[in-house]
Each structure stands twice: as C-alpha cells, then as structure tokens.
C-alpha cells in the first residue's frame, strides 16, 4: 500500500505486481541491515520485528526494492531499434527509480539517525536510582 503496488491496475506497463512477497521480505532484511549500520550503534533492528511507529522502515524497504529494480534495469539498459525508431523505455524508468531511491533513502536515513541519537542520549543520561 505504501508504494501503491497493490494490484495489476497499479502497474500498467508491468501487467503484474512489481514486487512479490519474497522480494519484499528480502528488502525488509536489507532495510534492517541498513538501519543497523547507521551510527550511533545503540539500537538494532530485526527484520522480523521492524518498528511500525513511524514510516521509517517503509521508506527503507521501498528504497531497497527500488535499488534492486534499478540494478536489474541498469544491467539491461540498451538502446534498440523498432520500426526505424531508436527507443529506450528503460532509461526513463532508471531516472524515475533513481529519484525514488533518493527520496526514500533520505527519509529513512534522517529518521533512523534521529531515533538512534535520541536512544544514545537517553542511555548516556539515564540515572539509575
């Protein structure tokens, strides 16, 4: 729902869903790894229990899905000739994916960093009675 990949109607050019359950699960693992690699190293994410109190992990998962799509498209990015016209639909999709990755990655990184800094500060100044 977050990236509007709900039904075939959401993907006119693909004629199917863009991402299946396994691809989404793998993106969840990568988003958790990404979170775990952001300093300060005071909080760790488990892909099976991602925090749902913010959209942070939704942005992280979306970024990871788009990175995978971008990698695949860029490996197959070639111009071809059809009826005397050279065309490259892939190049336009690559541009769109790069922009989507940037948006979601920036949102994810900003929120993750803020959350981890808050946890770190709380841990540093937490007084035990």
Does 107 fall in a domain? yes
User: Residue 40, preceding bond cis, omega within 30 degrees?
Assistant: yes
Range of the domain at 66: 8-41+49-125
First to last CA, the chain: 46
Does 56 fall in a domain? yes
The answer, yes or no, to whether residue 80 has pLDDT greater than 80, is no
What is residue 125's predicted lDDT score, i.e. its pLDDT? 85
Q: How many domains does the chain have?
A: 1
From the number of C-beta atoms within 10 Å of its C-beta (0-12, 13-18, 19+), residue 81 rates as exposed
Crossing angle between the packed helical segments 56-75 and 89-125, to the nearest 10 degrees: 150
Does 3 fall in a domain? no
Using one digit for the tens of pLDDT, what is the confidence trace for 6-56? 566 655 555 445 788 899 999 999 999 999 999 999 999 999 999 999 999
Q: Which runs of E-coded beta strand occur in the chain? A: 80-82, 85-87
Query: For residues 16 and 122, which has the higher predicted lDDT (pLDDT)?
Result: 122
């Amino acid at each position: 729902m977050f990236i509007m990949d709900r039904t075939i109607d959401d993907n006119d050019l693909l004629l199917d869903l863009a991402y299946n359950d396994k691809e989404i699960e793998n993106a969840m693992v990568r988003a958790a790894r990404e979170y775990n690699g952001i300093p300060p190293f005071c909080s760790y994410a488990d892909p099976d229990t991602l925090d749902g109190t913010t959209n942070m992990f939704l942005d992280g998962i979306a970024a990871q899905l788009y990175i995978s799509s971008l990698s695949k498209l860029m490996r197959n990015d070639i111009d071809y000739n059809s009826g005397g016209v050279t065309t490259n639909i892939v190049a336009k999709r690559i541009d769109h994916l790069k922009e989507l990755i940037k948006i979601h990655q920036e949102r994810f990184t900003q929120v993750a960093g803020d959350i981890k800094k808050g946890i770190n500060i709380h841990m540093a100044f937490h007084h035990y009675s």
